[in-house]
Amino acid sequence: MMSRKNPNTTDNKKYEARNTKYEIRNKLKLNERMIMKRNLFFRGTGTALVTPFASDGVVDENALKFLIDFQIKNGVEAIIPAGTTGESATLSEGELQFVIRTVVEKARGKVKVIAGAGSNDTSKAIKLARLACEAGADAILSVTPYYNKPTQEGLYRHYAVIAEEVDAPIVMYNVPGRTASNMDAETVLRIAEEIPNIIGVKEASGNLSQIMEILRNRHAGFGVWSGDDAITLPMIALGADGVISVVSNEVPKLFSRMVRFALDGKFDQALKLHNNLLPLMNFNFIESNPIPVKAVLAEMGYIAEVYRLPLIPLSDKHRSKMISLLKNLKLIK
């Protein structure tokens, strides 16, 4: 009886072999020169865009286009479709491409488009990243592997292979509260030093000591963006380049102004806006993201409050607080 090859085993061996070549090649001075010439991809506010669904559960194209225009008109520097906030876990590959392509067509030449394309399966992460590139994304946002909890060396190899296989700038996303796995400063800096098309990290560990270590030792041009709205201001004070934000879905003009004030060193003005928006930033995580932010956008009349299971609508016990917050910010009457 003939034995069959396991295709996943074959893929793993192929990627391991390529990874070995990649580590050798990274020792060449060519890569060092490429890293020294790396330019910062964007500075300011990137919105982790929600994906609106119609009442029948399909992607609401009209609402999506409205949200894109709303972001661009109100001054953000980047839009990030199909990430965690965009409910990527329940989007089909076709929907993922549709959402990214729609954003690209509306945003082209106006703001950067960084598409979510991560997985805890390296070969799947490569496939999703290629689909995002085909849809026209300027760069890829790739979350650290979740659930299977790789070692630091495993994280390095995961990103090294993706970078080898995908011809696009890549932003790593470290969010241990969701993945149960933290990518430490040493690993981030190693990747920044050795892999030229990995251009930065969205840092949502909440560990300021770790974040400071990255900021202090990174190469010029390697971006560090806050992944937590509430600590964006202190992170910029420490040298971060901006934020990939949830709250900017709701208040893109105010939040991007706060970020620009901070980046320009105008911390008194930035702090006033930060304090004004902080209750909304915190409310957005009173239940699992993106439940609260979609509830807010629905209350503002921008989308229908529709989710895909296992996410469900905002609890009744939090709705009165939401209404009060929105009235205080004059987002609703």
Q: Indicate the domain borders of the chain.
A: 33-266
Answer whether 94's CB lies under 8 Å from 132's CB: no
pLDDT value, residue 55: 96
For residue 32, is pLDDT > 60? no
Answer whether 206's CB lies under 8 Å from 231's CB: yes
Please state the length of the chain.
Answer: 333
Q: What is the pTM of this model?
A: 0.90
Q: pLDDT tens digit string along 148-171?
A: 999 999 999 999 999 999 999 999
Answer whether 203's CB lies under 8 Å from 167's CB: no
94: part of which helix (H) or strand (E)?
Answer: helix 93-107
pLDDT value, residue 47: 98
For residue 24, is pLDDT > 90? no
Q: Which fold has domain 33-266?
A: TIM Barrel (3.20.20)
The span from the CA of 328 to the CA of 40, in Å, is 37
Residue 33 — very low, low, confident or very high, per pLDDT cuts 50/70/90? very low
The token pair at 61 is: 């194209």
- Write b or e for each residue in 155-174: b if 16 or more Cβ atoms lie within 10 A of its Cβ, otherwise e: bbbbbbbbbbbbebbbbbbb
Q: pLDDT tens digit string along 47-63?
A: 999 999 999 999 999 99
pLDDT value, residue 27: 44
* Residues annotated as catalytic (active site), given as ranges: 173, 202
